[in-house]
Structure 1
Amino acid sequence: MNTLASRFKRTGLFALSALFIVVAGCTVGPDYKQPDSTLTASYQNQTLLQQRVGDTPSPALDTWWTGFNDPELTRIVQRVLDQNLDLAKSFARVEQARAAAQQAGAIRMPQGSLDGKATRQRQSTESSQGQVGSAFPGYDRNQTLETLGVGASWEADLAGGLKRGEEAAIDEAQAAEASHIGVRISVASEAADAYFRIRGAQQRLAVAEDQVKTQNNLLDLIKDRMGSGLATNREQAQAEALVLQARATIPPLRTELATQLNRLDVLMGAQPGTYSQELTNSPQQYSVPTISDSQGPAELLRRRPDVIAAERKLAASNARIGAAISEYYPKVSLSGLLGFDTAHSGQLFSSAAFQPQAIIGLHWRLFDFGRVDAEVAQAKGANAEALAEYRQAMLKATEDVEDSIVTLVELESQRSEVDQEVTAHQTARDAAQDAYKGGAVSLVEVLDEDRQLLTSRDQLAQLHANDARAAVSTFRALGGGWPQAGKETTAKK
């Protein structure tokens, strides 16, 4: 009884609220307010980025790939942005979301329709109508039924549920646009990463092939010395083993080169092998640019597409709460029809055939055993989940930037050290070979210097490519790669 009384009491309160809404035209549910940011003003590793000086000035974040001063890279990234199929798919999803938002807005507007029908029939005299009609003089079983009507209907959005639904659809469309921007950033970064891995493989292949040539020269020297009785079979075998060791490093590098070329072709929306020849014949020169530190963590809220998308989804979930709450209130619909209906051909537009209608409808979910309560609770739960996802996206964005900065700076420090190491090994190797020619040292020392030189040169070539890749990762983490003012999501695909 108490539960029933409480239900009637709440129904009465809703009735009063509904009357107020009809008069005031309110929109139920909470109005959206973007959560306050708790991010710090600067990154933890900001100092490291400030101390770093790249080979070229910092490029615009919108088109960061131009900062590497590599026309081939610029051409590839632009081709990817024009031809990538993942980008085409994401833009198709944007168009779907925009259409859904347009539909949600159209639902709030009146709807009109035109219906007409002409039916030619021979009526059965055994039917109820036929039995009655056939009793009258002049009855004709052959009949033509004509109907024509113009109708209009409109649902009065008393509680603003349809408005909240439109708001949610618009927010979700904006989230889809942000996700599309994220795909753009991703494919541009993936293309640059594949490009620098290709360049790294090419440089390491050149190092390996040069090492094979050097080892063959040493082997030829040993063979000459054997002819003079100054070298042994053991020394020749050691030199041949080092040649084979250098050759063994080449197949994995060729595999890496081929797979990255295929990856890049697919990113450009082409069959593997389409553009590989271009990269084989083009110069292998690029520079790693400086990266501006003027953008703090708060800027990620405007630049990172994943954060933008999460915030828009949060706004949509907030609007869904209002749409759910509106189910507590009555729904009123208005419709009208101006029509003509006749069973006599040629008399459709007569006053006798005129048949207007006016309808007012009311629907109110008074008793549903808590279904609306559950729908509101579900909407609030989805909103709480979206809020957590938004905060998580902000934290993940700052983590990406912090990790990228540390990786970039430390790789460049390692590269500097290895560069000096290569110079030292080259000097030591040349000195060892000269000493071997003069008989001052054994071949073992020359071979050992060769191995160390090969390792350090290969590491330096790999670090050079990884340094560029780390810069790409940093630009990506900062949300670079799309012009904010132009909203790249409007680009045609």
Structure 2
Amino acid sequence: MNNKLMHYAPLSCLALLLAGCSVGPDYHGAPPLPVSAKFARLPNTGVSTGQVQSHWWLAFNDDRLNQLITKAMEHNPDLDIARARLLESRASLAGDRAQQLPKLDASGALVRAKLPDSAGLSTDNPINLYSSGLDASWELDLFGQQRRTTEAGQAQQQASEASLADTQVAIAAEVANNYLQLCGAQEKLANLQQNLELQQQMLTLTRQRQARGASNDSDVNRLETQFENSQAEIPNQRAEINGYKDQLAFLSGLTPGSLDKLLSGAVQLPAQPEKVDVGDPLDLLRRRPDVRNAERKLAASTATVGEHVADLYPKVTLRGILGFSSDSSSQVFDHANQSWLLIPMLQWNILDFGRIRSQINVAKAQRDEAEAQWHKTVLDALRDANSSLSRYGEQRQTLANYLNVEQTAGRDQKLMQQRYGAGVASLIDVLDTQRTELTASQNRIQSQTDLALDYVALQKSLGLGWQS
């Protein structure tokens, strides 16, 4: 018996070696890319290279914003689509893994037949025939085709996970953008209404002066024109506010108007964080989901090349059939009624006039395309982060300038009001300073809004906001 085992030992070793063989290129990671240790457009103030915060919106200390992002992460339609695609990729991977295992089918049948009397049967007529059987098959993965398929499926699943994370990054940023624009729009509306009240007071005083003969009709007409122009801006501002509210409801998976009660108090922009941590470019590339998605697709396409290369080699399938049949149900599984077949099958596509080679070349070209796409994604991620850093730094300086302008315009307007009351300044001078102050206030609010939006864009460019 030992001699027989030694006789089959070389064949067993050969089978084990072939079972571990996978043809085609092995994936060793994305190609190296020189990346600087520091962002090229890092501002001198307002940012640091410290550890980034994934839930960056918490820095605003705004409960409404926190609630909105939580709602969106749970109910946003785009996230539901991404989750469904992830489930699809997981199910597909489970199917790929199952292909490596044996298959077993069971069957059973009952046949009742009436044969011609001329057949001269010695048994009862009609007759009964009972049969059952098992059909097993297993394709030996000698050259790793099924393993390459599973490898590609696993990489595709990981790409779907990265795609879900990328959608989370985008949704968090979009919710924050709309909320901050809503706050800015409502702050602008409040500023318009406050200015309108001042204009109404000015118009009332001027009419009183007209009644006493201290002002003329031209002064009253100018104030009425300015008042009506200011009133005309309010409906457009309210329509813009409603648009932001409806967009936030949509992002949260709700119908228009569902968030009006929650958003009614969002009348002022939340305070900006004094300093932003941005990390470094290497951390950025490891963290950004779109870079991870492109890298996983490159891994999948590399495995697909090996999947097609395996078609050049033979395929071996083992098949076995075990059956039982009898005209008596009580004797179906008797040993005497048993039959079986063992069928080793070899299939080798020897002559196909280059079809397999063509498929391999297509897979290699797709792999090269995936590598180029990964390279593009990396460069775009670095460009996006540096551009966002530059805009954020410059916008901080722009806001500081607008704050100074607003303060100066406010002082000038108060001084002109005093001069007008003393009769040493004209109404035209007062109207000019009022318009200047209103413009300065609106510019300051817009600049604050832009800075907040640039902060959000910076966090998005850093790949922050996704949850595992």
- Same fold judged by TM-score > 0.5? yes
Q: How does 1:5-44 map to 2 (within 5 A)?
A: 23-25=17-19, 26-34=21-29, 35-44=31-40
Q: Can you list the C-alpha shifts for 1:255-301, whole angstroms capped at 9, x where unaligned?
A: 11001100001111111101111111356352212454552212222
Q: How does 1:75-86 map to 2 (within 5 A)?
A: 75-86=67-78
What residue ranges of structure 2 are gaps of 5+ in the alignment?
Answer: 1-12
Paired position in structure 2 for 1:266:
250
Paired position in structure 1 for 2:9:
none
Q: Can you list the C-alpha shifts for 1:349-370, whole angstroms capped at 9, x where unaligned?
A: 2233201111111111111111
Could you state the TM-score of these two structures normalised by the residue count of structure 2? 0.92
- AA of the residue aligned to 2:204: D
- Name whichever of 89-98 and 33-42 sits farther off: 33-42
Aligned length: 454
8 Å contact kept, 2:51–2:279: no
8 Å contact kept, 1:405–1:474: yes
8 Å contact kept, 2:314–2:346: yes
- Name whichever of 412-421 and 175-184 sits farther off: 412-421
- AA of the residue aligned to 2:45: Q
Paired position in structure 1 for 2:41:
45
What is the deviation of 1:38? Answer: 2.2
Counterpart of 1:420 (choices 399, 404, 408) is: 404
1:143 and 1:179 mapped to 2: Cα distance? 63
2:276 and 2:404 mapped to 1: Cα distance? 28
- AA of the residue aligned to 2:83: F
- AA of the residue aligned to 2:392: L
Paired position in structure 1 for 2:354:
370
8 Å contact kept, 1:200–1:465: yes
Q: Can you list the C-alpha shifts for 1:113-165, whole angstroms capped at 9, x where unaligned?
A: 22111122324x3xxxx9xxx43342544122211112321100111011000
**Does 2:170 correspond to 1:186?**
yes
Counterpart of 1:120 (choices 112, 115, 124) is: 112
What is the deviation of 1:482? Answer: 2.7
Paired position in structure 2 for 1:313:
297
What is the deviation of 1:43? Answer: 1.3
Q: How does 1:76-115 map to 2 (within 5 A)?
A: 76-115=68-107
Q: Can you list the C-alpha shifts for 1:458-485, whole angstroms capped at 9, x where unaligned?
A: 11112212211111111111011135xx
What residue ranges of structure 1 are gaps of 5+ in the alignment?
Answer: 1-18, 489-493
8 Å contact kept, 1:79–1:268: yes
Q: Can you list the C-alpha shifts for 1:310-350, whole angstroms capped at 9, x where unaligned?
A: 00000000000000100000000011122202344443122
Q: How does 1:433-444 map to 2 (within 5 A)?
A: 433-444=417-428
Q: How does 1:80-229 map to 2 (within 5 A)?
A: 80-123=72-115, 125=116, 134-138=118-122, 140-229=124-213
**Does 2:56 correspond to 1:64?**
yes
- AA of the residue aligned to 1:52: G
Q: Can you list the C-alpha shifts for 1:429-475, whole angstroms capped at 9, x where unaligned?
A: 11112211222121111111111111111111122122111111111
What is the deviation of 1:236? Answer: 0.7
2:215 and 2:50 mapped to 1: Cα distance? 56
Change (3 A) 1:474 1:208: same
SS at 1:357 equivalent: strand
8 Å contact kept, 2:269–2:449: no
Change (3 A) 1:350 1:469: same
1:460 and 1:472 mapped to 2: Cα distance? 18
Change (3 A) 1:476 1:291: farther
Change (3 A) 1:237 1:197: same
1:180 and 1:301 mapped to 2: Cα distance? 17
- Name whichever of 152-161 and 429-438 sits farther off: 429-438
Paired position in structure 1 for 2:214:
230
SS at 2:336 equivalent: coil
- AA of the residue aligned to 1:361: M
8 Å contact kept, 2:184–2:269: no
Change (3 A) 1:23 1:73: closer
2:403 and 2:329 mapped to 1: Cα distance? 98
- AA of the residue aligned to 1:251: P
Change (3 A) 1:198 1:233: same
1:293 and 1:67 mapped to 2: Cα distance? 11
Change (3 A) 1:292 1:52: closer
Could you state the TM-score of these two structures normalised by the residue count of structure 1? 0.88
Q: Can you list the C-alpha shifts for 1:30-88, whole angstroms capped at 9, x where unaligned?
A: 11022112222211112x0x41269xx98952111101111211121112112212112
- AA of the residue aligned to 1:44: A
What is the deviation of 1:89? Answer: 1.5
8 Å contact kept, 1:59–1:66: no
SS at 1:288 equivalent: coil
Q: How does 1:285-300 map to 2 (within 5 A)?
A: 286-290=270-274, 292-293=276-277, 295-300=279-284
8 Å contact kept, 1:58–1:67: no
- Name whichever of 382-391 and 139-148 sits farther off: 139-148
8 Å contact kept, 2:60–2:272: yes
8 Å contact kept, 1:121–1:143: yes
- AA of the residue aligned to 1:362: L
Q: How does 1:311-350 map to 2 (within 5 A)?
A: 311-350=295-334
Q: Can you list the C-alpha shifts for 1:198-249, whole angstroms capped at 9, x where unaligned?
A: 1011000001111111111111121111111111111111111111121122
**Does 2:429 correspond to 1:445?**
yes
Change (3 A) 1:404 1:383: same
